[in-house]
Amino acid sequence: MSPSTPFPSVSSLREAVPTASSLRNVVDTLGDGAAAPLRAAAFYAAIGLPFAYIPLLVGGVDPGRLLVVVGLLLANAAALVLGHEYGIE
């Protein structure tokens, strides 16, 4: 990481998230027939899920909603990993 780029590269972020590789392995083992729709759904879910944060964050994150916010963040992270290669082929 150089001083001009304060954020780590994408490859190092993938290494930091151990579930990313296992999620990617699940998609790859499904085969092309099932993997393509799963990648497409994950890609569009990664786009839409952040809009679900808005009402939760506007209302304030109290202990009762904390689990929901963390669950949405994890679901969004999984969708980002699974849908990352959608449309690249």
- Cα(83)–Cα(24) distance, rounded to whole angstroms? 9
Q: Where are the domains of the chain?
A: 19-83
pLDDT at 76: 93
- Cα(85)–Cα(56) distance, rounded to whole angstroms? 29
Q: Which residue has the tokens 């296992």?
A: 22
Closest CA to 40 of 54, 27, 58, 25: 27
Q: Say if CB 53 and CB 72 are below 8 A apart.
A: yes
pLDDT at 75: 92
pLDDT at 4 over 60: no
- Cα(83)–Cα(42) distance, rounded to whole angstroms? 5
pLDDT at 57: 82
pLDDT at 44: 92
pLDDT at 5 over 80: no
- pLDDT digit string, tens, across residues 32-80: 677 778 888 989 999 999 998 888 888 887 888 888 888 999 999 999 9
